[in-house]
Amino acid sequence: MKKDFYEILGISKNADAAEIKKAYRKNALQYHPDKNPGDKSAEDKFKLAAEAYEVLSDPQKKAKYDQYGHQAFDGSGGFGGGGHGGMNMDDIFSQFGDIFGGGFGGFGGGGGGGARRAKGSNLRIKVKLTLEEIANGVEKKVKVKRKVQAPGVTYKTCSTCNGQGQVMRVTNTILGRMQSASTCPTCSGSGQILDKKPSEADSQGMILEDETVSIKIPAGVVDGMQLKVSNKGNDAPGNSIPGDLIVAIEELEHEFLKREGENLHYDLYISFAEAVLGISKDIEAINGKVRIKLEEGIQSGKILRLKGKGIPSINGYGNGDLLVHVNVWTPKTLNKEQKQFFEKNLSDDNFIPNPEKSDKSFFEKVKDMFS
């Protein structure tokens, strides 16, 4: 079970932006790798705090997190190598480096000797999904333009850092004098520089290549959720590993169905006569039509719950329901005979509203739905 982001930062759910930033800064300084050399648990806490801050400092992500929790960002099981969508040290410093007040450059010490393999940048795409695709899961093929090493390109060891990818420097920070490692300016951290390249390659020996990437999207994803396909981002020069392809989910509006978490809502309109006499109706459900029977004398505002006809939970814990809202359509004009018929019944006891206890009011029904 993943720890709550608010708990990680030691703040309440009502904390404002300034408190969140302050709490992150405190955590980051306490667990900074340069202050805790070789301490793996400090490094983990440092990463967790950054992950928490990345979400809570972004109003949109924060809203999603408050509503859906970790599942809004974790990607999913079985996705491109899975893992939790954690951040690596380079991400942290490139995104939040300034929060440390300029004292810290890059990340030192972590690799345990030898050059770390540089990682290429991430690519981001948006994938639009219909509600049907979301309900059933889908495999999407997308075209991406990735930077890859040109055929025939060669690299040699960088002489500035001797292939380490980092250079050491001493800085004065609010925490005192610190020795920190920063990314080598000559090779950008890869430890290697260009040796020979074909003419069509850029100054780093890279070319753009079209690639079709197949993305397995699990059932139950939510609009705004981001999935990660490992190593399908841009490659970097030298002995490096490619960045990731980040896939943002966009949900297309459905013609008849409204989604609310895992439940779906459908507005059914029936005539006054149908309500009085009872009728069978076809409902547009997510995977085709479903026939439902309306009892004679059904009341407008009644909500019928079709169990399991909603959206599957992304965690695999069953399906939501389809809630059919019954609306009785009142004719706006009547001809003379119809008018006479209803006028005759105005004083008929049988037509006078007489709700029973079981005919819950709209507000009670809404209350029930969320309890």
Segment 332-371, which members bind Zn ion (CB under 5 A)? none
Interaction between residue 122 and Zn ion (CB under 5 A) = no
Task: Determine the interface stretch with Zn ion among 16-24, 155-163, 236-244, 340-348 (rule: CB under 5 A).
Answer: 155-163
Give me the least distance between CB of 96 and Zn ion, in Å please: 24
Residues 6+ apart with CB under 8 A from 229: 79, 80, 213, 215, 244, 245, 247
> According to the annotation, is 184 in a ligand binding site?
yes
> According to the annotation, is 247 in a ligand binding site?
no
Nearer to Zn ion, 116 or 232 (CB): 116
Distance CA 149, CA 59 (A): 37
Task: Determine the interface stretch with Zn ion among 127-135, 186-194, 267-275, 284-292 (rule: CB under 5 A).
Answer: 186-194
SS3 232: coil
Interaction between residue 11 and Zn ion (CB under 5 A) = no
Nearer to Zn ion, 187 or 314 (CB): 187
Rg (CA), the chain: 30
Interaction between residue 186 and Zn ion (CB under 5 A) = yes
Distance CA 83, CA 89 (A): 16
Nearer to Zn ion, 237 or 310 (CB): 237
Task: Determine the interface stretch with Zn ion among 37-45, 115-123, 169-177, 178-186 (rule: CB under 5 A).
Answer: 178-186
Torsion of CA 88, 94, 96, 100, to 10 degrees: 100
Interaction between residue 182 and Zn ion (CB under 5 A) = no
**Cβ burial 259-284 (10 Å sphere, 16+ → b, else e):** beebbbbbebebeeebbeeebebebe
SS3 357: coil
Task: Determine the interface stretch with Zn ion among 84-92, 99-107, 184-192, 221-229 (rule: CB under 5 A).
Answer: 184-192
- Of 187, 257, 322, 324, the one binding Zn ion (CB under 5 A) is 187
Q: For residue 16, give Cα distances in angstroms to 44, 97, 199.
A: 25, 21, 53
Interaction between residue 118 and Zn ion (CB under 5 A) = no
- Of 11, 153, 184, 328, the one binding Zn ion (CB under 5 A) is 184
Distance CA 23, CA 57 (A): 11
Measured in degrees and rounded to the nearest 5, phi and psi for residue 198 equal -70, 160
Q: For residue 2, give Cα distances in angstroms to 11, 26, 85.
A: 17, 21, 12
Q: Residues touching Zn ion: how many (CB under 5 A)?
A: 6
Segment 219-278, which members bind Zn ion (CB under 5 A)? none
Residue 63 CB neighbours (<10 A): 12
Q: For residue 247, give Cα distances in angstroms to 77, 108, 214.
A: 15, 30, 11
Helices and strands (DSSP H and E) totals, the chain:
9, 15
Q: For residue 7, give Cα distances in angstroms to 15, 36, 48, 50, 235.
A: 12, 22, 11, 13, 36
Give me the least distance between CB of 238 and Zn ion, in Å please: 10
Interaction between residue 131 and Zn ion (CB under 5 A) = no
Interaction between residue 194 and Zn ion (CB under 5 A) = no
| E strand intervals along the chain | 123-129, 138-149, 154-157, 166-173, 176-183, 192-196, 206-217, 226-229, 245-251, 257-260, 263-271, 279-285, 288-294, 303-306, 322-329
Task: Determine the interface stretch with Zn ion among 35-43, 141-149, 157-165, 213-221 (rule: CB under 5 A).
Answer: 157-165
> According to the annotation, is 71 in a ligand binding site?
no
> According to the annotation, is 124 in a ligand binding site?
no
Give me the least distance between CB of 114 and Zn ion, in Å please: 13
Interaction between residue 298 and Zn ion (CB under 5 A) = no
Nearer to Zn ion, 88 or 186 (CB): 186
Task: Determine the interface stretch with Zn ion among 98-106, 182-190, 222-230, 329-337 (rule: CB under 5 A).
Answer: 182-190
- Of 161, 194, 285, 328, the one binding Zn ion (CB under 5 A) is 161
Two structure tokens written together for 131: 């509600």
Nearer to Zn ion, 135 or 161 (CB): 161
Nearer to Zn ion, 88 or 160 (CB): 160
Q: How far is CA 354 from the centre of its chain?
A: 48
Give me the least distance between CB of 240 and Zn ion, in Å please: 13
Extract the annotated binding site.
Answer: 158, 161, 184, 187
Q: Interface residues with Zn ion (CB under 5 A)?
A: 158, 160-161, 184, 186-187
Q: Which residues are annotated as a binding site for Zn(2+)?
A: 158, 161, 184, 187
